[in-house]
Chains A and B, each alone.
Chain A
């Protein structure tokens, strides 16, 4: 599903003409199969967020190949990448990234609006998913009226609403207490199992990485370990 081959990237610091390059990713090669949960582990500054940003198309790598579902994404134009993201990716962020002016229902509905789906059709799809992730009771609540766990559920529902084959999660439980963290991990696991969605989770937490079928550990921009813990 996801193929990353000899991916390298560096950041330039200093003034123009006198720049210095700091490598953040070096020769990364990893593969994630469809329906897997892959965890990319690493400490702060290890390059895991950069890897996610490149995988999501937010950043173009210096060298290497990133392919998702057979499509080489680093060569896509900005508008093509936006379209690709809409069809292929769902995002779960550590700080939820919900729209403060939209209620839970409207937040989940947003990707469908962007996709151009008509309102009655949207309503049915959103209501069904909200029921599945246990959010029906808080549909009309705004983000500031929801608990952290509920906000992350809204974020997960928003990521899933377009039925993308891949969900990219950046520290999905980083802002949650341990009890809520477990709830969210259970939800991810069940969605992966029931819907067959591929998850790529960026985390520094071994417990979160524990739900993954496959773990990759990054250290100073280098892949130090790739372990397949259990088959799908």
Chain B
């Protein structure tokens, strides 16, 4: 029998028992929708937390604080070797003086977070400017976007203590010369005072809550200042930047293998992914129970269909239908119930998911007394295609298993007994 005719055949039978088939499809739909919606909560929370982690940091950045086997610093040669790892975009080396610093510009002063960097590598890693240019002359530095804001007068500082907002330095800092006084953390060395000129100001950080008030001086200053302070040069902090997020895991593994302490976003996501994988598997398991309950309905419907159609099956067998064909027709009918139920369930689940994602944050906000959801970007439910595929496979698979026994029963019908049945 041609496949098209088989479809027509089961379509005719389903039409003849509309109500029974419709209620069975409804049960299959409810079971499958329950599974999808339940598991979608796991997917939603996972996505919310993953996004939170990914949004709050530079995802392609891999921090390499040191080496596992010793306290030795990462040498420039080792940093150079890291540049050779495939898909490494840039390797930035940073260090800080072992001293507390204060920056002064006229009557304004600020806490000075002096960072020694290699401008070329920082540029490769994505450092961009909002004002000015990269330092070209000796004594030129870059300052963070919020550095100007942190330069305050004593009066402003007192007012800030009373709750007033800090205005900081108004106007452009580019071309301004300021001095830094560095006092060593340990020992009784004399403070060191140096003058620097602002060549450029870095770009505003991507997130509102991020502050960048650092002073970025060339790495050559590291030795000079350490000598002046009488302290040792601090170990370099190495930041490795990958081309894209997908390569972060591979580079992280390679660096670990090479004996470095490594910390990247994939490390943070790894343990969380494991937890959510287990949670999602658990939710899918619970949801599957609903489908199994629905399968009882499919089994009943198909058993009744076989019983009602005994005479017709007998006629078909008498005129030459293969037992396999009879079995296939009934299996297709139960699969059709599963497929229709799954399609409806997917549509309904997407609807419920959208409604939940719209409604739940509103309810939470109103319960917290807030009007706007603002940065509250929580996703209650997410339905990825993988969840749809898993649910469809379970739902249709269970429907076919439910139809298996009745279909077998149909093939075993005795033609003589069947033909004796009254119309």
Contact = CB atoms under 8 A, between A and B. Distances in A.
Contact of A113 (B2, B314, B317): B2
A101 B1 contact: no
B246 interface: no
B423 A111 contact: no
B322 A83 contact: yes
A137 interface: no
B423 A114 contact: no
Interface string A67-85: 0000000000011001101
B320 A58 contact: no
B320 A82 contact: yes
Interface stretch (A28-36, A39-47, A91-99, A126-134): A91-99
B325 interface: yes
B416 interface: yes
Interface string A49-61: 0000100101100
A45 B419 CA distance: 18
B194 interface: no
User: Chain A contact residues (Cβ within 8 angstroms of B): what range?
Assistant: 20 to 34
Contacts of A110: 316, 319
Interface string A101-123: 11000000011011110110000
A86 B16 contact: no
B131 interface: no
Nearest to A122: B5
B16 A101 contact: yes
Contact of B320 (A83, A93, A97): A83
Contact of B311 (A87, A91, A97): A97
Interface in B290-331: 311-312, 314-325
A95 B317 CA distance: 17
B373 interface: no
Nearest to B422: A95
A117 to B, nearest CB: 8
B419 A93 contact: yes
B415 interface: yes
Nearest to B320: A86
B19 to A, nearest CB: 16
Contacts of B319: 85-86, 91, 110-111, 114, 158
A107 to B, nearest CB: 10
Nearest to A164: B320
A56 B318 contact: yes
B18 interface: no
Interface residues of B, number: 27
A95 B9 CA distance: 23
Contacts of A59: 416
A114 B320 CA distance: 7
A14 interface: no
A89 B324 CA distance: 20
Contacts of A17: none
Contacts of B4: 119
A44 to B, nearest CB: 14
Nearest to A87: B320
Contact of B423 (A58, A83, A95): A95
B12 A101 contact: yes
B419 A114 contact: no
Given A58-B415, A99-B315, A82 B423 contact: no
A102 B316 CA distance: 13
A79 B320 contact: no
A62 to B, nearest CB: 16
A79 B324 contact: yes
A93 B314 CA distance: 12
B263 to A, nearest CB: 65
A160 to B, nearest CB: 12
B5 A78 contact: no
The 5 closest A-B pairs by CB, nearest first: A86-B320, A85-B320, A58-B415, A113-B5, A97-B315
Interface of A: 53, 56, 58-59, 78-79, 82-83, 85-87, 89, 91, 93, 95, 97, 99-102, 110-111, 113-116, 118-119, 158, 162
Given A85-B320, A97-B315, 8 more contacts: A58-B414, A59-B416, A83-B322, A87-B320, A102-B12, A113-B9, A119-B2, A162-B320
12 contacts: A58-B318, A79-B323, A82-B322, A83-B322, A89-B320, A111-B319, A113-B9, A114-B316, A114-B320, A118-B2, A119-B5, A162-B320
